[in-house]
Amino acid sequence: MTRTLGFDEETSRRIEAMYRSPDAIRRRSLVLSLLEPRSGERVLDVGCGPGFLASELAAAVGPHGRVDAIDSSPVMLGLAKARCEALPWVAVREGDAARPGFDDAAFDAIASVQVHEYVRDVEGSLREAARVLRPGGRLLLVATDWDSIVWAADDAARMARVLSAFDEHLAHPDLPRRLEPLLRDAGFEPRRCEVLVQMNRVYDPNTFSAGLLELIRRFVPGRRGVDRDEADAWADDLRGRGARGAYFFSLNQYAFLAVKL
Ligand SMILES: C[S@@+](CC[C@H](N)C(=O)[O-])C[C@H]1O[C@@H](n2cnc3c(N)ncnc32)[C@H](O)[C@@H]1O
């Protein structure tokens, strides 16, 4: 089976809930501090998801600026439109990262958070980002390296099997370590890279890892020999560790800032 994670109603709602957590709020504040959107700028949010970042970008650029937000999932677009309804300088519409369909040099800045891992043609998508940015425009990408995951489990072999099956949820589980040469080839100069560690030392439903746990439990059955019972036992193990004060999760996400030459 090779189908990656689909952003259907159930998954999109779960991701929307995860993005309300303090862990996700911290990530958005890192993105905004690196990208530095300014009043009056035109910014593109590629793969806007439920629209939290687009609405925060809109607050930064103000009504004299403009935010275009695109996503390939109709459900995510519905959530983003609702979230940005009161902000007429935000335009939310269907679009593919590899074919965003805007004019050359239309944007001052682009943000794309946890999207390019899902895009098969990353090279083409980065070339398109360079095309629609003005010279000197900024690109901010966030991507996860899934080999960086540390998750305490009673059954380490089962954890390895489940995480291996979850690697199928996206096209590029190791994108951060390959990204800088790809950025250069597409016409960017990488300027900064910051690591954001998602770390949870307790099991709490309002955290990144609790949301991820449920996404994984639903995704892995039928992949790489993992069945539903094994996925449920894996999830119970982690929640049980939480109940007895033995929970630990950590994962590295990387924020890259690059400038179009
Ligand atoms: C993990 S979510 C991140 C959402 C959002 N960027 C955020 O951080 O709040 C990934 C998003 O990328 C979108 N996506 C995946 N592949 C895409 C593509 N080729 N073009 C546009 N959007 C895409 C999905 O529909 C989903 O909304």
CATH of the domain at 31: 3.40.50.150
251 lines ligand 1 (CB under 6 A): no
Q: Specify the pLDDT at position 2.
A: 56
Q: CA angle at residue 213 from 211 to 216, to 5 degrees? A: 110
Whether 155 is in a domain gets the answer yes
121 lines ligand 1 (CB under 6 A): no
Whole-number Å distance, alpha carbon 39 to ligand 1 midpoint, is 25
Whether 142 is in a domain gets the answer yes
21 lines ligand 1 (CB under 6 A): no
Whether 3 is in a domain gets the answer no
Distance, in Å, from the CA atom of 203 to the CA atom of 248, rounded to the nearest integer, reads 8
Nearest to 170 by CA among 122, 100, 108, 211: 122
Residue with the larger pLDDT of the pair 11 and 113: 113
Whether 4 is in a domain gets the answer no
113 lines ligand 1 (CB under 6 A): yes
The total of other beta-carbon atoms located within 10 Å of residue 74's CB is 12
Helices (H), 21-144: 22-35, 52-61, 74-83, 122-132
Give the count of domains, the chain.
Answer: 1
pLDDT level of residue 14 (50, 70, 90 thresholds): confident
pLDDT over 70 at 1, yes or no:
no
**Mutate-to-test residue for ligand 1 from 3, 30, 55, 71, highest number of ligand atoms within 8 A of CB:** 71
49 lines ligand 1 (CB under 6 A): yes
Using the structure block, give the residue that is written with the tokens 């925060």: 56
pLDDT tens digits, one per residue of 230-252: 999 999 999 999 999 999 999 99
DSSP reduced 3-state for 28: helix
The total of other beta-carbon atoms located within 10 Å of residue 51's CB is 29
Beta strands in the chain (DSSP E): 42-46, 66-71, 90-94, 107-113, 133-144, 150-151, 188-200, 249-260
pLDDT tens digits, one per residue of 145-204: 999 999 999 999 999 999 999 999 999 999 999 999 999 999 999 999 999 999 999 999
Category of 65 on φ-ψ map: left (φ > 0), alpha (ψ -120 to 50) or beta:
beta
Whether 1 is in a domain gets the answer no
**Mutate-to-test residue for ligand 1 from 21, 72, 110, 139, highest number of ligand atoms within 8 A of CB:** 72
Predicted TM-score (pTM) of this structure: 0.96
Whether 85 is in a domain gets the answer yes
Whole-number Å distance, alpha carbon 245 to ligand 1 midpoint, is 34
Burial class (CB in 10 A: 0-12, 13-18, 19+), 167: middle
Whether 2 is in a domain gets the answer no
**Mutate-to-test residue for ligand 1 from 5, 81, 115, 219, highest number of ligand atoms within 8 A of CB:** 115
pLDDT tens digits, one per residue of 61-85: 999 999 999 999 999 999 999 999 9
The total of other beta-carbon atoms located within 10 Å of residue 57's CB is 30
Give the residue numbers spanning the domain of 110: 9-260
